[in-house]
């Protein structure tokens, strides 16, 4: 099998010749630039300074030489957005600051700063009104320049036998609303003023639909997977109740999945949420999710064996290959190998599984552990 055949076989719930491997096709299956440099050095690859596919998280865009060396089956399409376009770091004393197209201010410490954190949100005022939301200078998410050149890349990847993954232009409605008004403000407003928060959610939905209309009109016939990422889980429970999700977010996410399905009917819908989302999985399936990422096995209710048994006929699991909080950065190579084998044994039988780490490989992960992960995946 070539890489695309391998991935499509797994997505069709059949066992391919080997488990497909994803590294770097999305902003949640990537690798920090520091870990990436060390990995290239360990593999004896030329020390070429990589591009950043996500300047906020400081994720490297993996070079084709590394992707081929590790037999990565996916290739990602990154639309131009506030994480990879127009990122100008301004000197603000002890920090680098970045003011993005949404009006959000991000900062990264100059000394040992590994990524940017949000420092100021634009709509945090306690007297926020619906008119404030409507009049805000929203970016044009349906602009054609956001996907310029991606069709040519997709066609090259397809011709070379790779599966093509198209990333969303900004994170999910719930998470991005937090970035605009602040997490505490959002949760309070969801509880106390559903009409007001609905105005914000509807605006973000409109921008989502604008992006996907433009992106899939241009690319719908050359992509294999489309993505949506919105974190609802914590280590132990959910950030909001299932009832709140069903009332305020589920109908809106359903519209996004429906548009993706209409414009790219052959493409599979990839949904990301960290943490314990077990109570929400039936809802995700109902509204059209095909792929669940990442399977955070250390979270309550997210044991891979149980998820495969309960939802394996309906869902593809993408990720969960190795714990990125404890084992990958802090374990021995043997610990890594054992965790990888345990997760593959749970998730891969019968197909319906794509391997990647639970989340992005961070700066403190030693290259020998990344290599041990890859060696265990090869069997």
All structural domains of the chain, each given as residue ranges with its CATH number in brackets, are 3-84+124-378 (3.20.20.210)
Which residue's entry shows tokens 């891979």?
Answer: 304
Q: For position 126, what pLDDT does the model report?
A: 82
pTM of the model: 0.96
Burial code (b: 16+ CB inside 10 Å, e: under 16) for 275-305 equals: bbbbebbebbeebebbbbbbbbbbbebbebe
Q: Mind listing the pLDDT tens digit for each residue in 295-306?
A: 999 999 999 999
The reported pLDDT for the residue numbered 285 is 97
How many CB atoms neighbour CB 120 within 10 A? 13
Mean predicted confidence (pLDDT) in 351-378: 98
pLDDT the model gives residue 297: 94
Percent of the chain with pLDDT over 70: 100
The percentage of residues in the chain with a pLDDT greater than 90, rounded to a whole number, is 98
| CA distances, 323 to each of 106, 249, 370 (Å) | 28, 29, 12
Report whether pLDDT(212) > 90: yes
**Model confidence at 202: pLDDT above 90:** yes
What pLDDT does 249 receive? Answer: 98
Predicted confidence at residue 301, as pLDDT, reads 95
Give the mean pLDDT of 97-109: 96
Interhelix angle 367-378/333-347, nearest 10 degrees: 40
294 cis-preceded (ω within 30 degrees of 0): yes
Closest CA to 156 of 214, 85, 77, 226: 77
Instruction: Kindly state the average pLDDT of the residues 178-191.
Output: 96
Average pLDDT over residues 63-88: 96
The stretch 316-327 carries a mean pLDDT of 97
Note the pLDDT of residue 125: 83
Which residues does residue 105 pair with via DSSP β-bridges, in sequence order? 99, 120
pLDDT in tens, 114-146: 999 999 999 998 899 999 999 999 999 999 999
């Amino acid at each position: 099998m070539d890489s695309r055949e391998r991935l499509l076989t797994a997505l069709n719930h059949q066992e391919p010749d080997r488990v497909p491997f994803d590294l770097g096709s999305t902003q949640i299956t990537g690798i920090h630039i520091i870990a990436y440099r060390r990995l290239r050095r360990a593999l004896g690859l030329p020390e070429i300074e990589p591009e950043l596919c996500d300047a906020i998280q400081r994720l490297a865009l993996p070079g084709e030489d590394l992707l081929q060396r590790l037999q990565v089956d996916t290739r990602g399409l990154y639309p131009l957005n506030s994480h990879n376009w127009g990122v100008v770091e301004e000197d603000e004393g002890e920090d680098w600051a970045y003011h993005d197209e949404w009006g959000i201010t991000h900062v990264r410490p100059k000394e040992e700063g590994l990524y940017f954190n949000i420092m100021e949100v634009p709509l945090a005022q306690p007297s926020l009104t619906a008119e404030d939301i409507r009049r805000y200078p929203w970016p044009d998410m349906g602009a054609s320049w956001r996907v310029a050149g991606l069709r040519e890349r997709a066609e090259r990847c397809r011709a070379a036998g790779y599966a093509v993954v198209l990333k969303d232009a900004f994170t999910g409605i719930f998470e991005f609303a937090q970035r605009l008004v602040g997490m505490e403000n959002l949760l309070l407003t969801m509880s106390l003023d559903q009409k007001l928060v609905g105005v914000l959610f509807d605006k973000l939905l409109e921008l989502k639909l604008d992006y996907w209309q433009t992106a899939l009109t241009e690319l719908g016939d050359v992509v294999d997977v489309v993505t949506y990422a919105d974190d609802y889980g914590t280590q132990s429970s959910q950030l909001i109740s299932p009832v709140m999700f069903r009332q305020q977010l589920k109908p809106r996410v359903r519209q996004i999945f429906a548009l993706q399905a209409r414009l790219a009917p052959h493409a599979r819908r990839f949904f990301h949420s960290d943490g314990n989302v077990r109570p929400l999985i039936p809802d995700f399936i109902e509204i059209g999710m095909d792929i669940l990422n990442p399977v955070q096995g250390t979270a309550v209710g997210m044991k891979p064996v149980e998820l495969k048994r309960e939802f394996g006929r309906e869902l593809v699991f993408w990720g969960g290959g190795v714990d990125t909080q404890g084992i990958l950065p802090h374990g021995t190579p043997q610990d890594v190998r054992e965790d990888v084998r345990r997760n593959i044994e749970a998730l891969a039988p019968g197909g319906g599984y794509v391997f990647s780490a639970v989340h992005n490989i961070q700066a403190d992960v030693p290259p020998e552990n990344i290599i041990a992960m890859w060696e265990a995946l090869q069997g």
